[in-house]
């Protein structure tokens, strides 16, 4: 007999958000909802972007090149969409400047477009403080947990450790569940 319930089980990693990159033909406009971005070395491997898990990293062992990417949660009030924005180190520099000036990225309104609208054109980002009421912005997710969902890691064994290029650095380890459990405790203590 199935055990039916009206409750939808929660994903222990929290809720998922779609990931978006800078479009080619249009300009993306959004407002950052997280306090700071997180960054991570990633590989494009087997058709997907995956986190680099060096020193034990299959793509690295395969000779795959890694690229640092920044991730931040963003909100578009026009379509009420909350999503993760991914950009490169160079693209992320205006966010770094904004953070230095305001000590937070939450409420940073930005436009992102590609140079000459070219498919691989360099991403240009312009940041301005928004007049949008911060209280109306959605609550920021725990970025590491959202990235665990996006990267299909079984549990949120992704966490911020140290810094890279002065940004908090995500560390992903798909193997170490025991560490994840300890780190989950760390999260609840700091929450």
List of residues contacting Zn ion (CB under 5 A): 52, 54, 57, 59-60
Q: Cβ 55 to Zn ion, closest distance in Å?
A: 9
* Burial status of residue 78 (CB atoms within 10 A of its CB: 0-12, 13-18, 19 or more): exposed
Q: Cβ 58 to Zn ion, closest distance in Å?
A: 8
Q: Toward Zn ion, which CB reaches closer, 59 or 156?
A: 59
Q: Toward Zn ion, which CB reaches closer, 59 or 91?
A: 59
Q: Toward Zn ion, which CB reaches closer, 54 or 117?
A: 54
**Dist CA 166 CA 29 (whole Å):** 25
**Dist CA 5 CA 183 (whole Å):** 31
Q: Toward Zn ion, which CB reaches closer, 68 or 76?
A: 68
Q: Cβ 93 to Zn ion, closest distance in Å?
A: 24
Q: Quick count: other Cβ atoms within 10 Å of Cβ 141? A: 20
177 φ, ψ (degrees, to nearest 5): -70, -35
Peptide bond into 18 cis (omega under 30): no
Q: Cβ 179 to Zn ion, closest distance in Å?
A: 18
């Amino acid at each position: 007999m199935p055990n039916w319930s009206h409750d939808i089980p929660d994903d222990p990693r929290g809720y998922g958000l779609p990931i978006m990159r800078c479009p080619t033909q249009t300009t993306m406009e959004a407002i950052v909802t997280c306090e700071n971005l997180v960054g991570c070395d990633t590989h494009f491997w087997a058709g997907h972007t995956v986190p680099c898990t060096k020193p034990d990293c299959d793509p690295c062992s395969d000779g795959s090149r890694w690229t640092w990417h920044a991730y931040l949660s963003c909100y578009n009030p026009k379509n009420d969409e909350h999503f993760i924005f991914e950009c490169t180190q160079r693209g992320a520099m205006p966010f770094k400047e904004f953070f230095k000036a305001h000590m937070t990225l939450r409420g940073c309104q930005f436009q992102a477009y590609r140079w000459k609208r070219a498919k691989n054109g360099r991403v240009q980002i312009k940041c301005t403080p928004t007049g949008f009421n911060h209280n109306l912005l959605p609550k920021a997710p725990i970025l590491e947990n959202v990235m665990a969902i996006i990267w299909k890691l079984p549990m949120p064994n992704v966490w911020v450790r140290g810094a890279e290029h002065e940004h908090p650095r995500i560390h992903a380890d798909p193997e170490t569940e025991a560490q994840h459990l300890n780190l989950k405790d760390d999260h609840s203590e700091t929450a």
